[in-house]
Amino acid sequence: MGNSFLTLIDWYSICYYAFLTVFLLNFDIFLNTSSILKPLVLVISDLLSRLLLSIIHYQLFRCVF
C-alpha cells in the first residue's frame, strides 16, 4: 500500500502541474490569437485536457487496483 500510495500522490502532483501548465499556455495563446482562431484554440485545448485526464485516470486506476 505504501508504494502505490506514493505513486498515487505522484500522479496527483503530475495531474496538478500538467493542468496548470495547459491552462496557462492556453490562456496565453488565447490572449494572443485573433478572434477567428479562438474557437480552434478552445477545441484543441479541450481535446488535450480530455486526453491528459484519460491518461491520468488510467494510471491512477492501474495504480490503485
Q: At 3, which helix (H) or strand (E)? A: helix 2-32
pTM strictly above 0.75: no
| Helix, strand, coil distribution of the chain in percent, nearest 5 | 90, 0, 10
Q: From CA 3, how far away is CA 64, in angstroms rounded? A: 10
Residue 4, all three cell numbers: 502505490
Report whether pLDDT(1) > 60. Answer: no
Q: pLDDT per residue over 5-59, tens digit each? A: 556 667 777 777 777 777 777 777 667 767 777 777 777 777 877 777 787 777 7
Helix/strand/coil for 36: coil
Number of domains in the chain: 1
From CA 61, how far away is CA 58, in angstroms rounded?
5
Which domain, by its residues, includes 31?
2-64
